[in-house]
Amino acid sequence: MKIIYVVFAVFLMALIATPGKSQPKKSCRGHCSRTCAKGEKEEHTEDCRRMYCCLTHRKKK
């Protein structure tokens, strides 16, 4: 009986530790590149994988 409790506890811990599939993936709103220009902001997104998502800063009026 103890083995069943241990297996169930390990299953629950693994279930809690893995991220859910319903979480929204972050997409790039700029362009993907290995290096971004001087005035651009670098972000990591799912779309660009190992590259950077380069976002341009818009000037406020």
Task: Report pLDDT digits (tens) over 35-60.
Answer: 999 889 998 888 888 899 999 876 55
Mean pLDDT, rounded, for 10-37? 77
Calculate mean pLDDT across residues 9-34.
76
Residue 16 — φ and ψ, nearest 5°?
A: -75, -35
Gap between the Cα atoms of 26 and 40, Å rounded: 18
With beta carbons less than 8 A apart as the criterion, state whether 43 and 57 touch.
no
Contact between residue 33 and residue 51 where contact means Cβ atoms under 8 Å apart:
yes
- 4: pLDDT strictly greater than 60: yes
Q: Residue 33: what pLDDT?
A: 93
Half-sphere exposure of 56 (CA within 13 A, CB side): 5
For the question of whether the overall pTM of this predicted structure is more than 0.95, the answer is: no
